[in-house]
């Protein structure tokens, strides 16, 4: 009886401590999410008290007649693929170099990680000044033609600029994840491979890379979710220009919702983005977790 009474007391205490948290999560997440679903089926300007229910018209308009959404989706896909590949490859290379026992390793790690502390909005404004005025001064002093290019005024160069700034800002974060993964690789396996005559490339691809599978899963997951939701660096660096060629899906949602006052239409796009991120994340985690088990 005493044990039974103690279990009920523990359950009651657990409920008392977790109930306030559950209420906060419900208010902060589930209620707004339910309202988002509701408003996605309405025509609403964000001001009127009675949104007009229009059914699936918002979604039909998005998929069939919205050229901005299709172009922003294509931009987001290109950006996400290149960002995921480049930031992870470069982060692994940096981690391999900084995992060596060098005198300046600690300082170099800090130097690469510091940009990640800064907000992407601040980083975007800093690089906007560099592209517009810093490169002009460098071009005048060095005479190199690369500094005279319109890095924010041409669609292709603007895309490269956004991608490069994003990688520069976040590569330190992924580098830390890979350094932690490299330090978890057993030294005896490396020594055994050296004794067997395996070269550095063979050791990396046969031992190090398979054992980095958990780190790769985490890094790809983070890079995937961050790249699909890219917004702040575009807002501060190009503002969607030139001519709307650097609109991402998130920026297109922001423009329709808060600039054009199409709140119902914008929430429909936000719901589509949520479903896309959810599905892609589930597929990615399933594939990578399966490869972790195989490794």
Q: What is the pLDDT of residue 177?
A: 92
Residue 1 has pLDDT above 60, yes or no: no
Which tokens in the block code for residue 21? Answer: 């948290």
Residue 197 has pLDDT above 80, yes or no: no
Q: 106-140 pLDDT, tens per residue?
A: 888 888 888 898 888 888 889 999 888 888 888 88
Residue 295 has pLDDT above 60, yes or no: no
Q: Average pLDDT, stretch 33-49?
A: 87
Which tokens in the block code for residue 11? Answer: 């359950």
User: Of 193 and 122, which is predicted with more confidence?
Assistant: 122
Tell me which of 157-171, 207-221, 249-263, 281-295 is least confident: 281-295
Asked if 260 and 247 count as a contact pair (C-beta separation under 8 A), the reply is no
Query: How many residues are there in the chain?
Result: 295
Q: 2-31 pLDDT, tens per residue?
A: 565 677 777 777 778 888 888 998 888 888
In sequence order, what are the residues at sequence separation of 6 or more whose Cβ sits closer than 8 angstroms to the Cβ of residue 185? Answer: 207, 208, 211, 212
Q: What is the pLDDT of residue 35?
A: 87
Q: What is the pLDDT of residue 78?
A: 94
Cα(first)–Cα(last) distance of the chain, in Å?
Answer: 50
Query: Where residue 81 falls among pLDDT bands split at 50, 70, 90?
Result: very high
Residue 189 has pLDDT above 60, yes or no: yes
Asked if 266 and 257 count as a contact pair (C-beta separation under 8 A), the reply is yes
How far apart CA 224 and CA 277 sit, in angstroms, is 8
Residue 159 has pLDDT above 70, yes or no: yes
Q: What is the pLDDT of residue 6?
A: 72
Tell me which of 32-41, 53-62, 253-262, 286-295 is least confident: 286-295
Structural domains in the chain plus CATH codes: 67-294 (1.10.3720.10)
> HEC string of 92-128?
HHHHHHHCCCCCCHHHHHHHHHHHHHCCHHHHHHHHH
Query: Where residue 79 falls among pLDDT bands split at 50, 70, 90?
Result: very high
């Amino acid at each position: 009886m005493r044990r039974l009474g103690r279990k009920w007391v523990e359950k009651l205490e657990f409920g008392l401590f977790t109930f306030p948290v559950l209420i906060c999560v419900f208010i902060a997440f589930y209620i707004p999410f339910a309202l988002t679903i509701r408003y996605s089926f309405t025509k609403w300007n964000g001001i009127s008290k009675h949104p007009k229910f229009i059914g699936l018209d918002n979604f039909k308009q998005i998929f069939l007649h919205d050229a901005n959404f299709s172009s922003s989706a294509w931009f987001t896909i290109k950006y996400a693929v290149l960002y995921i590949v480049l930031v992870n490859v470069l982060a692994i290379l940096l981690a391999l170099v900084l995992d060596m026992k060098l005198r300046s390793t600690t300082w170099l790690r800090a130097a690469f990680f510091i940009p990640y502390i800064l907000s992407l909005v601040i980083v975007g404004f800093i690089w906007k000044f560099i592209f517009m005025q810093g490169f002009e001064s460098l071009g005048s002093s060095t005479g190199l033609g690369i500094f005279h290019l319109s890095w924010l005024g041409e669609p292709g160069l603007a895309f490269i600029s956004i991608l490069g700034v994003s990688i520069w800002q976040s590569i330190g974060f992924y580098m830390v994840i890979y350094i932690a993964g490299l330090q978890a690789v057993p030294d005896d396996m490396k020594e055994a491979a050296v004794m067997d005559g395996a070269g550095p490339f063979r050791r990396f691809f046969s031992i190090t890379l398979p054992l980095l599978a958990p780190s790769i899963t985490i890094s790809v997951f983070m890079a995937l979710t961050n790249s699909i939701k890219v917004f702040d660096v575009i807002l501060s660096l190009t503002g969607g220009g030139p001519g709307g060629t650097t609109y991402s899906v998130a920026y297109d949602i922001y423009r329709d919702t808060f600039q054009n006052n199409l709140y119902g239409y914008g929430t429909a796009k936000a719901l589509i983005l949520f479903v896309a991120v959810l599905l892609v994340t589930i597929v990615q985690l399933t594939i990578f977790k399966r490869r972790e088990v195989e490794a």
